[in-house]
Amino acid sequence: MASCVRQRFFGWFVFLCGFFVIVQVMLLLNQQKCNSPDEQTNLDARALNSAAGDKKNNIKRNDKKTSHRDKRRETATKFPVKSTPSDNNYLSPFHRRWEANCSAIFAGDTDVVQATYRMLKKERHSHNGSIVVPEDREVRTWTHDCDSFRSLRRYPTHPVSEEEDSYPVAYIIAVHKEAAQVERLLRAIYQPQNLYCIHPDAKSPEDFQRAIKGLADCFENVFISSKIEDVQYAGFTRLLADINCMKDLVGPRGDVYRWKYVMNLCGQDFPLKTNLEIVRQLRAYKGHNDITGVLPPSHIIGRTRYKHVIRDKQVKRTHRPKTPPPHNLRIHFGNAYYAATRRFVEYILTSPKATDLLRWSNDTFSPDEHYWATLQRAPGTPGGYPDPTWDENVRFMKWGDITKHPSCKGIYVRGLCVFGVAYLEYLATQPHLFANKFYYSFDPIAIQCIEEALLNRTRNPALSDRLPNFPVTNLLWQSHTALP
């Protein structure tokens, strides 16, 4: 009996040993077929890199197949865009994110641009001819919880670099409609070390006024002008809006935020450059103001030679001649937008020459188009220079009668192009800091694509070195001696 038990036990032992050997052999064979942990990690990393670079790689493959587009593809490297949906989550829940291939749009890919236009056209057709954007009363609700709003929209809370922190900039933003577009503009240019004065037109709707005030109240360095004007197109109050903000910018807030330059914008402007790039351009001005101005052509002279009045909500010329300009100032004509030093602003607000010219300009046509230009070329103006020139680098605009730029590829409003996505390829080659005009309700994808490009270059500042002809250092007046 004992012998029988031992035989059975020995048989089971042999069976189990054989089974164990077979299992080990199978595991060894399977391990040889599999990747090592390090190899698997490398594969995972390559897969992630491939997924992140699909858009870029697809464009490169298309380049090889379509060599005739090489020149257009080169534009994409000058205004690089590399984004994923997560990059733009801050748009939601406030702004709709459109599915658009911005890299291809900047590269001038005709097929992609046309497909984008068809998508927008279909959207307009289904909404009575315009794109649906957040209404002012909706924007009012965004800032009920400022902490949540700033967080969801990812407003910067710290300077991105020491270079930017040491060179704060001030902005004057004159607005009158579409609070949602104003918010996108503010988000695009916002930095915590900068200072922002917003001037809403006094006659703009209440919902708009309250929406803009809500935005300003969410930031210590954003405020509403202490004196609001009823802005008249081509009228004196448009100039006063800037003057009022200038007074605020050099007040107590200006003592806290020691800004170096001020730029004025309107609600339909949008930046083409990051804050770091803007700072580098302002430094390149060497203490000069960037203000255009030439002697007025014959068809412009009447603007300041005769008195004007407001009639039927329009500025009308009378037959009554004006007295000569004060202080023997020679009137120059330019545009209403500028980049000006702090010393220039302080001079504007205190110099009898400047204040007398301001009063004299009260009954002229579109005084903001001669006031800055004239003072810029007056002897003794801080940051000024005597040269008449149209050279400037603050703002790109495409007027219908200017042929040196490509045709509009959008719509014209008062003779000025409202840009669409088809114009982004050309804007990418321009050195200007801002462009005008953009209408959120006309082409939101154009704005979204610029946002993506700016976000990419902000995160990867080395990409700024690939911008063409930037910062500009060859403007006519930059040959003058650097100023303190």
Q: At what angle do helices 342-350 and 352-360 cross, to 10 degrees?
A: 70
200 - beta bridge partners? 175
DSSP letters of 129-192?
Answer: TS-----HHHHHHHTTSHHHHHHHTT--SS-S-HHHHTS-EEEEEEE-S-HHHHHHHHHHH--T
Q: Decide if pLDDT at 196 tops 90.
A: yes
Question: Strand 222-224 to strand 195-200: parallel, antiparallel, or no bridges (unpaired)?
Answer: parallel
- Neighbouring CB atoms inside 10 A of 279's CB total 24
What's the rounded mean pLDDT across residues 402-421?
95
Q: What is the mean pLDDT of the chain?
A: 87
Note the pLDDT of residue 479. 66
Q: What is the pLDDT of residues 31-41, one digit of tens each?
A: 443 333 333 33
| Stretch among 196-205, 233-242, 441-450, 464-473 having the lowest mean pLDDT | 464-473
136-407: CATH topology is Spore Coat Polysaccharide Biosynthesis Protein SpsA; Chain A (3.90.550)
Q: Decide if pLDDT at 396 tops 70.
A: yes
d(CA 233, CA 244): 17
Q: What is the pTM of this model?
A: 0.83
Q: How confident is the model at residue 76 (pLDDT cuts 50, 70, 90)?
A: very low
Catalytic residues: 369
Q: How far is CA 51 from CA 37, 44, 56, 104, in A?
A: 21, 11, 10, 17
Q: Decide if pLDDT at 44 tops 80.
A: no
Q: How confident is the model at residue 475 (pLDDT cuts 50, 70, 90)?
A: confident
Helix (H, G, I), strand (E, B) or coil at 483: coil
d(CA 126, CA 384): 52
Q: What is the pLDDT of residues 270-322, one digit of tens each?
A: 999 999 999 999 999 999 999 999 999 999 999 999 999 999 999 999 999 99
